[in-house]
Amino acid sequence: MTTTAPRLGTALARLLILAAALLGALLAGAAPASAHAALTGSDPKDGAVVASVPKEVNLTFSEQVAMSADSIRVLDPAGRRADTGEIRDLCSGSVVRYGVGLRAGLPDGTYTVAWQTVSADSHPISGAFTFSIGAPSTTSVALPDRSAGGGLVGTLYGIARYVSYAGFAILVGGGAFVLACWPRGASVRPVQQTVVRGWLTLTGATLVMLLLRNPYTGSGELSDAFDLAGLKAVLETKTGAALTSRLLLLGAAALFVAVLFGAYARRTDPKEKKDLAFGLGIGGTVVAAGIAGTWALAEHASTGIQPGVAMPVDILHLLAVAAWLGGLTVLLVSLYRAPGVPRTAVERFSKVAFGSVAVLVATGIYQSWRQVGSWSALTGTRYGQLLLVKIGLMCVLVGIAWISRRWTRRLADPTTAEATTAEAEPETEGSGEAGEAGEAEGAGEPRKPGKDGEAEEAEEAEGEAAPEEAVEETADAPAAMAPERAAQLARQQAAVATARRKRERDADPERAGLRRSVLTEAAVAVVLLAVTTVLTSTEPGRTEEEAGQGTAAAGPAAVPDRPVDIRLPFDTGGVEGKGVVRLSLDPGRTGANALHIFVERPNGKPLDVPEIKVALTLEAKDVGPLPVAPDRIQTGHWSASGVQIPMPGEWRIQVTVRTSEIDQTTIDKNVKIG
């Protein structure tokens, strides 16, 4: 019998629009995927000026990263490669350090170090800084204006991640709902369509992520998604292996879905059905845990502290999310498109949801401790703030679920509702016998009205009632029936089904209340899933704080302060007594600083002088003068390390230049330090 699904109504439309708006606002305000590993130090340091060409450039990270041949590039002032292209693994114990050698004989000037790699939890990270050899200079190298994992490719990859989570929840939660809560739902068409669409969604999103992985972690160009060499390189990574494994497991999941909606749905013998349900339950749990493990293998759980505990906990967390939110989705579809959902099925799902929430709380507490680590990170990092939003949404969701449980207790049995409908339904005016036929299916042989009367009754009040004898006529004599007559009876058939469903819904206000509360619950779940997706793309609070501590421990030069740079013209009055002193105090803050002095002739060439002296005075605090005796590095270059600035303030820097035995001068300038 052909049926038509009832409209979901304006309430559903409004809630879905609200959920979409919240989701859009969340994703629009989300920053690009943040680094889950962080650069904590470098040698040379950012902004440093070194006297001679270093043998190599070293980078130190907060956790393991995956390096490729082009992960570290050093560019000279003209933008040419200055490195050898050979990445050296300098890791030792808990220290994660990599280096790249520099070519010999590099000229003086400012060099740019651009790096890009993939952290151990699959997220791309990148950055750049500069250092100078001999003296700073102008450079034609433009630092990248887009971080790794951003742009159009990053947006598409993020959408695919969200869609994959949603597909997983519907596939796993829908299958669990049928097996544990409503076995008869295996033969209900809307339920079948929902679960199959979950499988298709997860499979499609996984394929998209696999294709986008190369440009997502590399060039950022969408065209590189079809680069076979890049795809081959992706398949050799941990994330590529996880995505490939997920596709293989989805093949097993397709077999599970086929048996669930095929052989299991057709079984009539209770014992056989129970045995098959047991097998499907065991097999489905193994496949679902395997699919969840592909996330745990490649993301947060596989890095950081206690990965051996974190990965099983992450799998349990994902399964609990799927059982609750996926089952909720199938229940919502069933309540709207299959109104015959029994009270026992809703009660069973209520128990499943309660158990899922208990698992989510237990695993969530552990994950929060592991990823956040401190109260300051909970409120002072983006990860912690998003986690608070997720906790708030979870509380709202649990509150709505509690309301749904109250509606479930008041839910009338469908057979009672149908009996109430049959007693209370008034006869359609002018067609009493037809009304009786529409109220109770198979309730005796109705008197057959005329042909014209049937057409009029079928079109009145959206088919409030229609004779079932006419419906049977469609199946008994299709060949002899005129096309117009067949179309007319098909409309009557649909009208009968629509009217019956409408009466069933309207006769049970408790069921209508349950539909509204479940719909609201689903709308909040859409936003909750979006927050979770953004959370998995955000640097954990513990990692962010540890990276900050590592940066501080690496020394003041790791802090992104700009060095003090001043130019002081001088004239000692003797032969070659004119020139310019360029002084750099790096990083130009309290604590230890590196001092570099360059003495130049008026034409910019280095000037060799016999002596340079420096003194620092903070007159406002009566500190100083503090003498500094720099060492001669080469012609025109003097340097001193560990120059201590005890407190911030307006310091007067005095430089004494001696160009001969008798010719010298002292020049000074006030600068703000710290």
pLDDT recorded at residue 662 = 84
pLDDT recorded at residue 200 = 96
CATH code: domain 39-148 is 2.60.40.1220
pLDDT surpasses 80 at 237 = yes
Residues 200-232 pLDDT 10s: 999 999 999 999 998 888 878 888 888 888 888
What residues have CB less than 8 Å from 315, skipping those under 6 apart? Answer: 289, 292, 293, 296
Domain with residues 561-673, CATH architecture: Sandwich (2.60)
Domain ranges of the chain: 9-30+151-412+508-546, 39-148, 420-425+452-507, 561-673
State mean pLDDT over 251-261: 95
pLDDT recorded at residue 12 = 44
State mean pLDDT over 58-66: 84
Residues 116-152 pLDDT 10s: 888 776 778 888 888 999 888 888 877 655 566 667 8
- Please list the residues that pair with 617 across neighbouring strands: 652
pLDDT surpasses 60 at 23 = no
pLDDT recorded at residue 284 = 94
> CA separation (Å) from 670 to 225, 566, 615, 623, 646?
56, 10, 12, 14, 16
State mean pLDDT over 169-175: 95
The residue whose two tokens read 């179309």 is 487
What residues have CB less than 8 Å from 573, skipping those under 6 apart? Answer: 663, 665
632 vs 634: CA distance, rounded Å: 6
State mean pLDDT over 154-180: 92
645 vs 626: CA distance, rounded Å: 9
Residues 497-546 pLDDT 10s: 766 766 655 555 566 666 676 677 767 767 766 777 666 666 665 555 55
Residues 591-627 pLDDT 10s: 778 888 888 888 878 888 888 889 988 888 778 788 8
Q: When comparing pLDDT for 423 and 311, which is higher?
A: 311
Backbone angles phi, psi at 52, to 5 degrees: -130, 170
189-203, 272-286, 501-515: which range is least confident on average?
A: 501-515
pLDDT recorded at residue 281 = 94
- Beta strands 49-50 and 124-133, pairing class: parallel
Contact by Cβ (8 Å): 62, 38: yes
Backbone angles phi, psi at 349, to 5 degrees: -65, -35
355 vs 91: CA distance, rounded Å: 44
Confidence label for 362 from pLDDT (cuts 50, 70 and 90): confident
pLDDT surpasses 80 at 323 = yes
Q: When comparing pLDDT for 220 and 266, which is higher?
A: 266
pLDDT recorded at residue 192 = 94
pLDDT surpasses 50 at 236 = yes
Residue 46: closest CA among 618, 635, 558, 447 = 558
Is 561-673 the same fold as 39-148?
yes
State mean pLDDT over 438-459: 38
Burial of 154 (0-12, 13-18, 19+ CB in 10 A): buried
State mean pLDDT over 183-208: 94
